[in-house]
Amino acid sequence: MFESFELGHRISDRAYAAAEPKLRQELLQAQYELLEKKHFPVIILIGGVDGAGKGETVNILNRWMDPRHIVTHAFGEMSDEERERPRMWRYWRALPPKGRIGILFGAWHTDPIVDRVMGRTGDAELELALNEIVSFERMMADEGALILKFWFHLSKRVQKERLRALEADPKTRWRVTDTDWKRFKLYDSFRAVSETALQETSTGYAPWTVVEGTDPNYRYLAVGRALLDALRNRLAGGAQAASRPAALPEPALDGRTVLSGVDYSHQLAHKPYNRALEKYQGQLNLLSRKKAFRSRSLIIVFEGVDAAGKGSTIRRVSGALDARHYQIIPIAAPTEEERAQPYLWRFWRHLPRTGRVTIFDRSWYGRVLVERVERFCSHQDWMRAYHEINEFEEQLTEAGGVVVKFWLTVTKDEQLRRFRERQKSPFKNFKLTPVDWRNRKKWNDYQRAVCEMIERTSTARAPWFVIPSNDKNYARIEVLKTLCERVAAAL
């Protein structure tokens, strides 16, 4: 495919001078409209051959538009804070909020290509990485991002000439490094791998635009025009590739679900409870201090029926750990900064470094639970969330995270009993709000949402554990025991 971009495209200085002022003004206007509406973020990826004018083009874009509302990020070496988290964490933290333009240099597509060219990975791993990119960009597009990807291409001959010319000029010599020449030797391989990568990750919602990098005039106008068209189209309400999820299957005809078989009769008396508590808290504590844990992390998700005892169970877990090594993240309504970002952003920002534990008190599952049932998000938003969540958790486990998810459940009668108890107790009645009563009325809707959630997101890597919690002692020990087992198995 690159042959079409070795034609020697060229635009004369005169034609450029004639076209540039108008393009510039229109881009600026579009940028201000974007900024004012704040409907979506713009993500511009920049990749391609060295010496093809990537940096210069980005500088031109910054000059044409208002640079105060553009965020440019170049991804070089990872910082140690980045290395200790899933691969995509550094990109998540660089995403532009709604209304702004983010220009990302050498972002998520770079490593898979370079690793393959260097022979550090094989075809299968490349394929896998590209699939992940497709999913990720799909999610961004579904979240409303306008994604533009520019690939700057040069033929082998032109690249060599260009690197030489840059080196010869004292003003530009700094831009050519040894790495550039080393990479040049791998041109053919780089070209072949890039071609595969571009083809596989060029999608309707995030297409690659290949730009011939030989002539600056051509390069700048090509990128500027493409950006302007995309911005205008989108600002005018141009169709965003709408995802149409299939309808969910109806609940099983025989009424059997993952929840219907739960045995609520388990009980644990005070004495054996105390013994077990000491045992498993001790075990968990030791596990969290093992040397092997220093390169892993633990992510615990607590979800559950209202009044199922999430808070008190979490305290039994955190009580086993050193406060210096865990964080508990209670998930409530998103903040303003979080609302300006894709849904999962607010969870990414809290991911633990290695050797640490993060406990989520409610989590990203809100989307397929409360947001689904209360219709806070659209049908298609929560439908695609199953897939997005599975991929998210896969990234967590791939980075060495141990992900354990608990659904604490009580019977409807037991919930009522606990609500009434809370009403009566002066210390507990702050825990009972009108929302709890409203949710209770939607018991069946919630149950259905929970069943589907578990069916679709309980994976071998990040399984759900349904914990019958009518008896609190029993539930707490089950949770602790499960945690010990999962962590021990992982180390």
Whether residue 399 contacts residue 85, with contact meaning beta carbons closer than 8 Å, is answered with yes
Q: Which of 113, 210, 299, 328 binds its own copies (CB under 8 A)?
A: 328
Give the distance, in angstroms, between the CA of residue 416 and the centroid of all CA atoms in the same chain. Answer: 38
Q: Which of 322, 398, 413, 421 binds its own copies (CB under 8 A)?
A: 322
Report in angstroms how near the CB of residue 38 gets to its own copies at its nearest. Answer: 12
Report in angstroms how near the CB of residue 289 gets to its own copies at its nearest. Answer: 6
216 binds its own copies (CB under 8 A): no
3-class secondary structure per residue, the chain: CHHHHCCCCCCCHHHHHHHHHHHHHHHHHHHHHHHHHCCCCEEEEEEECCCCCHHHHHHHHHHHCCHHHEEEEECCCCCHHHHCCCCCHHHHCCCCCCCCEEEEECCCCHHHHHHHHCCCCCHHHHHHHHHHHHHHHHHHHHCCCEEEEEEEECCHHHHHHHHHHHHHCCCCHHHCCHHHHHHHHCHHHHHHHHHHHHHHHCCCCCCEEEEECCCHHHHHHHHHHHHHHHHHHHHCCCCCCCCCCCCCCCCCCCCCCCCCCCCCCCCCCHHHHHHHHHHHHHHHHHHHCCHHHHHCEEEEEEEECCCCCHHHHHHHHHCCCCCCCEEEEECCCCCHHHHCCCCCHHHHCCCCCCCCEEEEECCHHHHHCHHHHCCCCCHHHHHHHHHHHHHHHHHHHHCCEEEEEEEEECCHHHHHHHHHHHHHCCCCHHHCCHHHHHHHHCHHHHHHHHHHHHHHHCCCCCCEEEEECCCHHHHHHHHHHHHHHHHHHHC
Binding flags for its own copies, 119-158, as an x/- string (CB under 8 A): ----------------------------------------
Report in angstroms how near the CB of residue 76 gets to its own copies at its nearest. Answer: 9
Binding flags for its own copies, 160-199, as an x/- string (CB under 8 A): -----------x--x-------------------------
Instruction: Choose between 122 and 319: whose C-beta lies nearer to its own copies.
Output: 319
Report in angstroms how near the CB of residue 337 gets to its own copies at its nearest. Answer: 5
Which range in 59-67, 160-168, 218-226, 264-272 contacts its own copies by CB under 8 A?
Answer: 59-67
435 binds its own copies (CB under 8 A): no
59 binds its own copies (CB under 8 A): yes
Instruction: Choose between 65 and 117: whose C-beta lies nearer to its own copies.
Output: 65
Instruction: Choose between 449 and 487: whose C-beta lies nearer to its own copies.
Output: 487
Instruction: Choose between 105 and 264: whose C-beta lies nearer to its own copies.
Output: 105
Which range in 107-115, 177-185, 332-340, 473-481 contacts its own copies by CB under 8 A?
Answer: 332-340
Instruction: Choose between 305 and 383: whose C-beta lies nearer to its own copies.
Output: 305
454 binds its own copies (CB under 8 A): no
Total number of residues binding its own copies (CB under 8 A)? 47
Give the distance, in angstroms, between the CA of residue 431 and the centroid of all CA atoms in the same chain. Answer: 32
Instruction: Choose between 295 and 444: whose C-beta lies nearer to its own copies.
Output: 295
Which range in 79-87, 235-243, 398-406, 457-465 contacts its own copies by CB under 8 A?
Answer: 79-87
Of the candidates 344, 348, 372, 331, which has an alpha carbon nearest to the alpha carbon of residue 145?
344
275: phi then psi, degrees, rounded to nearest 5: -65, -45
Instruction: Choose between 164 and 289: whose C-beta lies nearer to its own copies.
Output: 289
Tokens at 465, concatenated: 């554990």
62 binds its own copies (CB under 8 A): yes
Report in angstroms how near the CB of residue 83 gets to its own copies at its nearest. Answer: 10
Instruction: Choose between 256 and 339: whose C-beta lies nearer to its own copies.
Output: 339
Binding flags for its own copies, 246-285, as an x/- string (CB under 8 A): ------------------------------------x---
Instruction: Choose between 129 and 344: whose C-beta lies nearer to its own copies.
Output: 344
Instruction: Choose between 98 and 384: whose C-beta lies nearer to its own copies.
Output: 98
Q: Which long-range contacts (CB under 8 A, 24 or more apart) does 1-4 make?
A: 1/195, 1/198, 1/199, 1/210, 2/153, 2/191, 2/194, 2/195, 2/210, 4/210
Q: Which of 6, 11, 29, 184 binds its own copies (CB under 8 A)?
A: 29
323 binds its own copies (CB under 8 A): yes
Instruction: Choose between 315 and 438: whose C-beta lies nearer to its own copies.
Output: 315
350 binds its own copies (CB under 8 A): no
Instruction: Choose between 293 and 464: whose C-beta lies nearer to its own copies.
Output: 293
Dihedral sign for Cα 301, 305, 311, 316, please: negative
The residues that touch its own copies, with contacts defined as CB under 8 A, are: 25, 29, 32, 55, 58-59, 61-63, 66-74, 79-81, 103, 105, 171, 174, 282, 289, 311, 314-315, 318-319, 322-330, 335-337, 361, 427, 430
